[in-house]
Chain A
Amino acid sequence: MDAIRNEIRRLRFEHGEMTQQELAEKIGLTRQTVNAIEQGKYSPSLEAAFRIAAVFGEPLESVFHYSPE
């Protein structure tokens, strides 16, 4: 799980300090799931990852990074 990192926290901050709940509602997930994704404890499905990237208007690779160890 740690191999996939993300920039969600920073992007939320840059987008008007969007809360996890607001992001969750936009992408159809629960706040707890957004929190788990943000902390790298849960890797979202490809569809959810695309939805998150779309909310921030960023390409997928700008939001999620894969770094094999």
Chain B
Amino acid sequence: MSFREKTAWISLLSMSGIYGLYFWSVIHAGHQAGAFHFGGLLETIIALVLVQVVLTVALAIFSPREAKAPRDERDKLIELRAMRVAYSGLATSVAMACFFGAFDPPIVFNTNALLFILVTAEILRAACQIIQYRRGA
């Protein structure tokens, strides 16, 4: 497994886990939250950055040669393809959010829905990268 694929796994798993917990807490808070829970989001972002940095540094320590190597043409192609898929998902989801936004939901729904769309697009990007690396693409 290449260094790039491993970092894609770190991204996929950390985002799924940490943002999963955040959205779980948002859903369970329901209308009790009353407003967008900025503190919770800040904690989530800090946790995500810490986990990703620690895991990526650990990975680089165990495979320093691969970590130093620049992305080659296949890495770039895989990244571009994954970005295209993620962008399509993002654009479609934003269009749907705009449509449902017309029904005047509370602001807490809007903010978290947009965050959910963004996180889903990032997870989709990482997943597409992993699939292509697995296939050999």
B136 touches A30 (CB 8 A): no
Where the two chains meet, the residues of B that have a C-beta atom closer than 8 Å to any C-beta of A are 2, 5, 66, 69, 72-75, 133, 135-137
A59 CA / B74 CA spacing, docked (Å): 23
A30 touches B135 (CB 8 A): no
What residues of A have a CB within 8 angstroms of the CB of B74 in the complex? 29-30, 32-33, 36, 42
> Nearest Cβ distance between residue B95 and chain A, in whole angstroms?
34
What residues of A have a CB within 8 angstroms of the CB of B2 in the complex? 30-32
Where the two chains meet, the residues of A that have a C-beta atom closer than 8 Å to any C-beta of B are 28-33, 35-36, 39, 41-42, 44-45, 48
What's the dominant secondary structure at chain B's contact region? Answer: helix
A29 touches B73 (CB 8 A): yes
> For residue A29, which residue of chain B has the nearest CB?
B72
What residues of A have a CB within 8 angstroms of the CB of B72 in the complex? 28-30, 33
A18 CA / B137 CA spacing, docked (Å): 23
Using known A-B contacts A30-B2, A30-B66, determine if residue A36 contacts B73 with beta carbons closer than 8 Å.
no
